[in-house]
């Protein structure tokens, strides 16, 4: 009997290893497809981007490229710390686990719609007992980053208010919409526990309520701390964008660059794309329109946009693949 048990155990281990191998192959194939689609989408511009970067580096402007690259790990370290803080109410994880989970979410976000991929990737990369609560923590993390972009975007809009190519009524509609978004965020923060209790407990709303119930576990100080980290992370990312603009020598002042960047990132945040590949397109279009106010050529704007996207999103997502491979 003991021999049979040993045989069944060995067969089970072989089956587990076989499925693990299959999952790794599938994950690798998925990554290669995403990279092929991403780079193929802008393949005609890719070589021009690197040539432009090399040209500006040889002119002694490479320090801005160095700043941009140094801020990449800072950006994702801040996001990982925020995620570690929020998911800690569900299950405590180490900082390295938070980093791996964050980058795994970044990887899956390249292929799945909107922010669904980010949530799915983060939660799937962690071994948590309550996935529903972890999903809620991921949604809260995304909401914090959303409002960090909105608040700074409002500052950028007011800085450029007089030069924005829009009519008076259109500007008033935009201001009213942003006011509603801010008010909704403040009310959601103040009455979060009451609002979750009022959600129906059956059907799809029951699942939403189960996920968002985790918000009742955070006190005000914890959420404000998470928001402060999210805001610092946003400023880091915006700083990378400004460094890219300085690398390409845009004829603008730094405050003008910062205001334009805040608008571009707010538009990208408020108008979600289908996925991060679509996000690149949306960011590029908004950047061309906003920087075009200052007479910047579309090709230069798109080159900087692609550089920021590749260094800060695409390449870190590859590290997310290594985490998925390791955990599979």
DSSP conformation letters of 27-54: HHHHHHHHHHHHHHHTHHHHHHHHHHHH
Is pLDDT of 278 > 60?
A: no
Average pLDDT, the chain: 79
Separation between Cα atoms, residue 323 and residue 121, nearest integer Å: 11
Q: Work out the pLDDT band at 222, boundaries 50, 70, 90.
A: very high
Q: Which residue has the tokens 């300085």?
A: 246
Residues of the chain with pLDDT > 90: what percent? 30
Separation between Cα atoms, residue 118 and residue 125, nearest integer Å: 11
Q: Where are the domains of the chain?
A: 60-327
Separation between Cα atoms, residue 148 and residue 233, nearest integer Å: 9
Is pLDDT of 63 > 60?
A: yes
Instruction: Record the tokens describing residue 280, joined without a space.
Output: 């690149």
pTM of this prediction exceeds 0.95 = no
Apex CA 63: angle with CA 61 and CA 67, to 5°? 135
- Is the Cβ–Cβ distance between 99 and 77 less than 8 Å? yes
Closest by CA to 302, choosing from 315, 291, 312, 311, is 291
């Amino acid at each position: 009997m003991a021999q049979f048990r040993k045989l069944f155990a060995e067969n089970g281990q072989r089956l587990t290893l076989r499925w693990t191998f299959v999952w790794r192959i599938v994950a690798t194939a998925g990554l290669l497809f995403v990279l092929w689609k991403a780079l193929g989408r802008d393949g005609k511009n890719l070589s021009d981007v690197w040539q432009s970067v090399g040209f500006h580096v040889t002119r002694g402007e490479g320090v801005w490229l160095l700043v941009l690259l140094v801020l990449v790990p800072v950006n994702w370290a801040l996001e990982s710390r925020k995620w570690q803080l929020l998911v800690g109410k569900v299950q405590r994880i180490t900082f390295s686990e938070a980093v791996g989970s964050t980058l795994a979410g970044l990887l899956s976000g390249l292929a799945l719609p909107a922010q669904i991929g980010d949530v799915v990737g983060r939660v799937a990369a962690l071994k948590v007992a309550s996935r529903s609560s972890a999903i809620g923590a991921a949604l809260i993390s995304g909401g914090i980053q959303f409002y960090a972009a909105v608040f700074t975007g409002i500052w950028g809009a007011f800085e450029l208010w007089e030069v924005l190519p829009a009519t008076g009524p259109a500007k008033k509609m935009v201001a009213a919409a942003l006011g509603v978004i801010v008010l909704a965020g403040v009310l959601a923060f103040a009455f979060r526990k009451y609002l979750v209790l009022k959600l129906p407990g059956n059907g799809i709303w029951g699942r939403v309520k189960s996920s968002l119930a985790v918000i009742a576990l955070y006190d005000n100080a914890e959420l404000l701390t998470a928001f402060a980290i999210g805001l610092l992370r946003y400023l880091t990312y915006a700083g990378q964008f400004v460094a890219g603009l300085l690398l390409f020598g845009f004829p603008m002042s730094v405050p003008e660059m910062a205001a334009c960047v805040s608008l571009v990132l707010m538009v990208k945040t408020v108008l979600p794309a289908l996925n991060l590949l679509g996000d690149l397109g949306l960011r590029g279009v908004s950047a061309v329109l906003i920087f075009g106010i200052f007479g910047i050529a579309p090709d230069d704007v798109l080159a900087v946009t692609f550089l920021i996207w590749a260094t800060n999103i695409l390449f870190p997502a590859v590290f997310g693949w290594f985490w998925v491979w390791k955990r599979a």
